[in-house]
Amino acid sequence: MTTPADHDSDLRALFHDAVSDVDPEGGTDQIRARAKRPSAGRWVPLTLAAAVATVLVIGGVGWLGRQSESPPAAGPGTPKVPASQQASPEPDPGRTLTVPVYYVGDTATGPRLFKEEHTVPDAVGSELDVAVEQALWGDPLDPDYQPGFGDETSTVHATTDGAEITIDLSAEPGRLVNMTDEGGTVAVQALVWTAQAATSSEQPVRFTVDGRPVASIYGVDTSAPVQRAGADSVLSTVSISSPAEGAKVPTQFEVTGEAATFEANVVWELKQGDQVVRNGFTTAAECCTLSPYKFTGNATPGDYTLVVHDTDESDGEGVGTSEDTKRITVE
What residues does 265 pair with on adjacent strands?
Answer: 283
CATH architecture of 238-330: Sandwich (2.60)
Residue 220: pLDDT band by 50, 70, 90 thresholds? very high
3-state secondary structure of 262: helix
Q: How far apart are CA 261 and CA 298, in angstroms?
A: 24
Residue 276: pLDDT band by 50, 70, 90 thresholds? very high
Residue 321: pLDDT band by 50, 70, 90 thresholds? confident
CA atoms lying within 13 Å on the CB side of residue 238: 29
Q: How far apart are CA 234 and CA 40, in angstroms?
A: 112
What digits encode the pLDDT tens for the residues 247-273? 999 999 999 999 999 999 999 999 999
Residue 293: pLDDT band by 50, 70, 90 thresholds? very high
Tell me the range of 11-15, 76-80, 245-249, 308-312 where mean pLDDT is highest.
245-249
Summarize the confidence of residues 7-36 as an average pLDDT.
49
Burial class of residue 51, CB neighbours in 10 A (0-12, 13-18, 19+): middle
Whether pLDDT at 319 is above 80: no
Find, among 180, 181, 109, 106, the residue nearest to 140 by Cα.
106
State residue 8's pLDDT score. 52
- pTM here? 0.71
State residue 86's pLDDT score. 39
Q: How far apart are CA 168 and CA 283, in angstroms?
A: 42
C-beta of residue 31 within 8 angstroms of C-beta of residue 24: yes
In the chain, domain spans: 95-234, 238-330
Contacts of 308 (CB under 8 A, 6+ apart): 238, 239, 240, 255, 257, 259, 266, 267, 268, 323, 324, 325
Contacts of 215 (CB under 8 A, 6+ apart): 221, 222, 223
C-beta of residue 175 within 8 angstroms of C-beta of residue 218: yes
3-state secondary structure of 281: strand
Residue 176: pLDDT band by 50, 70, 90 thresholds? confident
Residue 145's alpha-carbon distances to 29, 106, 113, 236, in angstroms, are 125, 7, 9, 11
Q: How far apart are CA 255 and CA 4, in angstroms?
A: 78
Summarize the confidence of residues 130-159 as an average pLDDT.
90
Whether pLDDT at 37 is above 50: no
Q: How far apart are CA 92 and CA 94, in angstroms?
A: 7
